[in-house]
């Protein structure tokens, strides 16, 4: 009886060690990496959103006649920050695309605001504006890096979820895991810019 008990315990121990070494934890690990990368994307978008009111206020003093551009930036920020992200945004193509479009609209509006600032030499030399512009440029770079990291994390996760043996492990142990969405480039961003001299 004691011999049989030891054999059963030994078999269970071998199965546990084999299961932990066969990649059973790979999918949850990759899923958590995707979630962490997504949180960093949201963090950087929030940082940008927090900078915008200061930038708009600084430009407003110099560019009162550019009210249309300032309004567009303010509205784009409001739309981007007011969107309620559903819990399944990473696996919901429609919600993900809407989020992506709102952020792209804000990026475009900010670009137009910075172009407007070129018309005002006093604004370009204002230290507050220069500091805010530098912060915004740094934030845009951080957003690009966070998006890249997210895309790479999603690529690893989706590849694992769709290839054998992880596909089988996912079906058996983690049936609720779904393919995650990744960022795409809008049609407008794919067009070649027209430069005129």
* Per-residue pLDDT tens over the stretch 107-158: 888 888 777 777 777 766 677 777 878 888 888 899 999 999 999 999 999 9
* Tokens at 91, concatenated: 């696996």
pLDDT for 130: 78
pLDDT for 67: 73
Residues 22, 158, 160, CA angle at the centre, nearest 5°?
Answer: 15
Distance CA 120, CA 116 (A): 8
> What number of residues does the chain have?
197
Whether pLDDT at 191 is above 90 = no
How does residue 17 score in pLDDT terms, banded at 50, 70 and 90?
Answer: low
Distance CA 115, CA 120 (A): 10
* Per-residue pLDDT tens over the stretch 51-96: 888 887 777 766 666 777 778 888 888 888 888 888 888 988 899 9
* Per-residue pLDDT tens over the stretch 18-54: 555 567 889 999 999 999 999 999 999 899 888 888 8
Beta carbons within 8 Å of 178's beta carbon, 6+ residues apart? 88, 91
What are 139-144's contacts with CB under 8 Å, separation 24+? 139/44, 139/47, 139/48, 139/51, 140/48, 140/107, 142/44, 142/47, 143/41, 143/44, 143/45, 143/48
Beta carbons within 8 Å of 167's beta carbon, 6+ residues apart? 161
């Amino acid at each position: 009886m004691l011999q049989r008990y030891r054999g059963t315990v030994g078999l269970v121990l071998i199965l546990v060690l084999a299961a932990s070494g066969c990649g059973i934890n790979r999918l949850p690990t990759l899923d958590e990496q995707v979630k962490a990368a997504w949180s960093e994307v949201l963090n950087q978008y929030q940082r940008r959103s927090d900078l915008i009111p200061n930038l708009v206020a600084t430009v407003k003093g110099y560019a009162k006649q550019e009210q249309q551009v300032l309004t567009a930036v303010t509205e784009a920020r409001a739309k981007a920050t007011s969107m309620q992200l559903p819990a399944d945004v990473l696996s919901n193509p429609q919600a993900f695309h809407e989020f992506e479009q709102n952020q792209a609209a804000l990026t475009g509006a900010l670009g137009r605001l910075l172009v407007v600032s070129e018309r005002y030499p006093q604004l370009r030399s204002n230290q507050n504006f220069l500091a805010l512009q530098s912060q915004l440029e740094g934030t845009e770079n951080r957003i690009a890096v966070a998006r890249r990291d997210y895309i790479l994390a999603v690529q690893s996760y989706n590849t694992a979820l769709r290839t054998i043996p992880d596909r089988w492990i996912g079906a058996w142990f983690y049936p609720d895991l779904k393919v995650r969405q990744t960022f795409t480039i809008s049609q407008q961003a794919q067009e070649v810019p027209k430069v005129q001299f």
